Amino acid sequence: MSGYGKERIGWLPRVLVAGLALWLWAGPLWAQPHEERPDVRVVVDVSGSMRDNDPERLAVSALDLLVALLPSGARAGVWTFGETVDNPLPLGEVDAAWREQALALPPALQAYQQYTDIEAALNAAASAEANGWRHLVLLTDGMIDLSPDRGPKPDIDQASRRRLVEERAAELADQGVAVHAIAFSDQADLALVERLAQSTGGLAALAKSPEGLLGAFLDIVERIFPADQVPLDEGRFVIDDGVETFSALIFHEPDDGPLALVAPDGTRYRAEDAPDDIRWQVEPRFDLIRVPDPQAGEWRLDGAVGEESRVNVASPLHLRTADLPTTLYLGFDVPVEAWITHDGGPFEGGEDLTLSVSLQDAQGKVQSRVMLEPEAGRYRGRLPAPALTGNARLVIRAESEAFRRQRAQAVNVLPAIGAVHRPRAGRVVLAAEHPALRRANTEIHGELQGERLEAEAVGERRWQLALPELDPSLSLPLLLEATVELDGERQTLSLPRLVLYPDGRLGIGVADVTGPTLATETFDDPRGDDTAPPPDSAAEPAADRFVAWVNRLPEAALELWQAGWPGLERLWHEHRRDPRLWGALSALVLLLLILSLIRRRQARRPPRREEPHV
């Protein structure tokens, strides 16, 4: 790799890339074979906005990391895009020569262009044929910005985004293309990133740190190339007689102490004195340990063991699953099917075998768990509906007296119906996230301060809910509920609370709000933008509202006087864009000028002489 490339790696050291490559080289640990070989197409944003939103050059580091994670024999290629789309590394089989070409790409990844055409980039990367699924890994700040030569802005940008979300994403999914999207800034269009992944069966993540980036790429690679693992609990894991090799990837902080590995017979191994057959690499953020022909029994790790740590195994036994969804929805159960194979054939002797599935949040905490029931050689069950939105993980475990296996798959959890507040239009816009929800089978209503509000369908998968006039200084929770009829069954969904005016000075009942997804979608309004006045604005004339507001000023002034300068600062930050404030200030200034003129005239007027009365 060129010296220029080495200088631009940033916080992801070259040794980390080499270490992860060693993990893959160590053995056939991506164990589940595929009749069809999926290929991976990395699509890297080189637009000008990435210069600002990716100051740490995460995209360069991300590509190096992905190159290391891709197993040999897979097919992969790299595309870059800004105003135009390039293909600096065409599709090819991943081998030593391919990796060398990929690691020489950083200069091409920093040839920044002025505009951002995500739509053209995805179309170009998806166009080449493949023997199996095409997995597009989109690295972007997610902001569509087309050249004004193509038409008036922002209309052309909004039209491109609308085509991607409403048309192109579904077409890509039908063609066997999954988009896995990673955003490098919370200033990105996170809703677009999330929607592309959701619609095509991919994963979405926001990565702003080495740990976030590493976790996102491990999730994507394990989704494409599933691997068998053994459970790692509090630094302990059990290896059975059938394991031929295990490879432990143990994450830790740079300043953590050295790690030790203790075998079932008590033998203690360290990196500096490990036998020649044990490959042990120590890096600032991880230790990589490969042990061939390991002893059967419980192994133990002494030292810091990070949440993303895992132990992959190669053996004749494989834990298989039916296709697992990449997106789960609040209020909807998750069907799961799993089974065990031995050397590719049926597994015999599973009398004491149990299989379970659990849903873990981003911190590894178990949110729900259920046992799978045996049925015709397989195990099936339904995981209860998730209760929190965001990034999560499905973990399937198989346990018996003879062995333990585990498979973990990352998922995104979304509300079944998304909602966004349009304050200037005086309404809430709602859109179905779950693919089965339509206006024909879904009714939505809200509750605001004890008042029931009915939502009106304005499209096949879109509704709007009109709001009464509200005080922007008050934060209020809007409770949303949907009644859905699917497959002849009627159920009620409690949607996440929507906080109206979250920056208001006072909050009324806004605690315990459901956790966020990557972003809240800003739905395109079919009736135009939200610059139109609220439909109920005529109920109270603007002059009356202004007079009422002015009448409240003495009380507010007293509060601010008691609060001192911080109170004045708060008033300024809360209302500096409120035209009523500027109107009041103008009126006050005018009043002071009038009073000043009156006093000056009175000062110049000669005193009136009064004659004495007789």
Tell me the pLDDT tens digit for each residue of 76-127. Answer: 999 999 999 999 999 999 998 998 888 888 776 777 788 889 999 999 999 8
**What residues does 340 pair with on adjacent strands?**
319
Task: Check whether the bond before 88 is cis (ω within 30° of 0).
Answer: no
Give the C-alpha separation, 520 to 435, whole Å.
Answer: 18
* pLDDT score, position 360: 92
Least confident span in 56-70, 203-217, 231-245, 444-458: 56-70
What is the Cα–Cα distance from 289 to 298, expressed in whole angstroms? 16
Q: What 8-state DSSP symbol labels residue 333?
A: -
The yes-or-no verdict on residue 420 having pLDDT over 50 is yes
Q: What is the pLDDT of residue 607?
A: 45
pLDDT reading at 394 higher than 70: yes
Residue type (1 letter), 184: F
Q: Which residue has the higher pLDDT, 161 or 581?
A: 161
Return the half-sphere exposure (C-beta side, CA atoms, 13 A cut-off) of residue 472: 15
Q: 557-567 b/e with 16+ CB inside 10 Å = b?
A: eeebeeeeeee
Q: Exposed, middle or buried: residue 445 (CB in 10 Å: 0-12, 13-18, 19+)?
A: middle
Dihedral angle sign, alpha carbons of residues 159, 160, 165, 166: positive
Compute the average pLDDT of residues 269-286. Answer: 88
Backbone angles phi, psi at 85, to 5 degrees: -115, 130
Q: Are 428 and 498 in contact (CB under 8 A)?
A: yes
* pTM (two decimals): 0.72
Q: Where are the alpha helices (DSSP H) in 450-575?
A: 542-551, 553-563, 565-575
- Can you give the pLDDT at residue 25? 40
Q: Are strands 489-500 and 506-507 parallel, antiparallel or unpaired?
A: unpaired
Both tokens assigned to 410 = 């990352």
Do residues 43 and 137 touch, judged by C-beta distance below 8 A?
Answer: yes
pLDDT of amino acid 479:
94
CB 183 within 8 A of CB 141: yes
- Say how many C-beta atoms besides its own lie within 10 A of residue 134's C-beta: 24
| pLDDT at residue 390 in the model | 86
Q: Report pLDDT digits (tens) over 286-307.
A: 788 999 999 999 999 999 998 8
Q: Characterize the bridge pairing of strands 245-251 and 177-183.
A: unpaired
Q: Helix H segments across 225-328?
A: none
Supply φ then ψ for residue 472, to 5 degrees: -65, -15
